[in-house]
Chains A and B, each alone.
Chain A
């Protein structure tokens, strides 16, 4: 190979001879032209560093992650930025369309002062406490108890079934459990049937505001998610070396103390992870509410309100602000996940 400049081709020799440097070496000609002035030299340096960067990028590595990043960028990152901005603008849907004037904190004032949003915020707080406490608590108790019986697998399957079906299906199941009919005819909902059998009056459970109906909706959520917590906590429980528990029992500790002083501390990290998953889950709770009460009778929650404001009342600015509330509530858990990941990565 080597020195083909010393024997230029026929066409190139002609080009050279007539002095058409631009044809022979256009890039070189441009470079020499640019080098004559200071701005040109600056531009040249910029282009060179761009080219160097372009070459240094590992395109083959990028090609693996590019499709995922493009989709995530368009469907998650871009909308998040726009929605945050939209929370300060009017009710129109299109950022560059009509009715999208700057309204300052108007939407935000609605979020934190309107009665319906205060109800929603209160309900989400109630959900967060009761739902998380019960799902993790029941999950823990079931994990430990079921380990001691022979029919463990069977009961586990039963408890876990609701986690596999849709929120809509679960909502229908429980709407039927809570069904209400006047006192003079037979009840077809099992909860009222039990109440009547015990000599009480039938109750319109989902209309009993604000505590009964909200708590009964939370029961539905707990029923749906306890199995999920149980499976994870059970796996963690089975990882505890059994001789450890046996040793404590031989030393005279009763079952409660074994649970309190050994099992609980060892399961605490897993329980914490499960609890954060549940909190995140419950902040976004939507399906059950949408199907069972649609947020009526004081059962409104943030996610359902966000849906209504946008897609029923066409107030997209206000709806954006409500969505941002959800984001703000979730941000601590995002940071927690990232930290946990960074730690895990550091250990690798």
Chain B
């Protein structure tokens, strides 16, 4: 019985194995190559390391040192952090206010405005660049961190507001009634009651938004490409591909530098991340 079950399940295991292989091999190739010597990279395929996988001497950190200092990706890494952390914080902050307003305050036009927000979740950002850019240039916001903080905050608001709203709308009404009997103002209710119990939802949204901004190329390309010293990793690497397209020792190490933080975030906070995705897509 057990053997028959095993045989019956063989196609299943094989199919899964094929999927797993296709999903792991490209990334593995990048990872191994990034530690190899440039002449080896250009001479032989990365899979040739396998017969003597763990023998030292064929790996080094040369490439990483090369991109971090030589190609100044160290600066870009910092820029990516300087861009994404404040932008994420500001947008989560503003979105939680708006979400509370839309979920629990009563005012004229509440429904219509929230539908506008829902509709704008999928608007192509391409619609927004051409009118905003000249204003940015006049205000000297193009090529500055505050400029891109604002842009990322605004672009992220429809989705973040919607996600936080979904959570806050589910808070039992009794909680607010008892608070208002105690004489708390809406602001106090929001700050003392709603925010603390929304922390898990806010964490999901924060991680989601952080990765979105960290991984963004388009918005950075529009608002920051005028000044190379503020470029985030994505932008620097895209330029590296254009200028040094065959120098795989640089490209692989650079790509891995940009992937490192998302991977750490993903593996350590997978639960929140997945929850964020689920909240965004299957609710309703």
CB within 8 Å of B: which residues of A?
56-58, 60-65, 67-69, 71-72, 74-80, 82-83, 86, 93-95, 97, 138, 142, 145-146, 148-149, 155, 157-162, 164-169, 171-177, 179, 186-190, 193, 223, 227-228, 231-232, 235-236, 270, 273-274, 277, 280, 283-284, 286-287, 290-291, 294, 303, 306-307, 310-311, 316, 319-320, 322-324, 326-327, 330, 333-335, 337-338, 340-345, 348
Contact = CB atoms under 8 A, between A and B. Distances in A.
A79 B161 contact: no
A177 B29 contact: yes
Nearest to B273: A164
A26 B3 CA distance: 99
Closest 9 pairs (CB-CB, A-B): A64-B101, A75-B154, A68-B98, A166-B215, A61-B105, A65-B101, A82-B131, A172-B255, A61-B107
A290 B238 contact: yes
Contacts of A345: 111
A75 B132 CA distance: 7
Contacts of A284: 124-126
A138 B242 CA distance: 32
Given A155-B19, A338-B115, A68 B123 contact: no
A61 B189 CA distance: 13
Given A69-B98, A338-B119, A348 B169 contact: yes
A58 B130 contact: no
A164 B211 CA distance: 7
Nearest to B251: A172
B132 A72 contact: no
A142 B19 CA distance: 9
B153 interface: yes
B106 A176 contact: no
B2 interface: no
Interface of B: 9, 12-13, 15-16, 19-20, 22-27, 29-30, 33, 41-47, 94-95, 97-98, 100-102, 105-108, 110-111, 113-134, 150-151, 153-155, 157-158, 161, 169, 185-187, 190, 211, 214-218, 221-222, 225, 233-234, 237-238, 241-242, 245, 248, 251-252, 254-256, 258-259, 262-263, 265-267, 270, 273-274, 277-278, 281-284
B126 A323 contact: yes
Contacts of B186: 60-61, 64
Contact of B274 (A82, A231, A236): A231
A295 to B, nearest CB: 13
Contacts of A63: 101
5 contacts: A65-B102, A166-B258, A172-B254, A173-B30, A176-B29
Contacts of A274: 281
B30 to A, nearest CB: 5
Which of A65, A74, A177, A306 has most B Cβ within 10 Å? A65
Contacts of B15: 145
Nearest to B46: A188
B130 A320 contact: yes
B151 A75 contact: yes
Nearest to A53: B108
Which of A77, A86, A164, A324 has most B Cβ within 10 Å? A164
Contact of A287 (B47, B106, B218): B218
Nearest to B166: A344
A204 B29 CA distance: 19
Given A175-B241, A176-B252, A186-B43, 8 more contacts: A60-B187, A77-B120, A146-B16, A164-B265, A172-B254, A193-B47, A337-B118, A337-B122
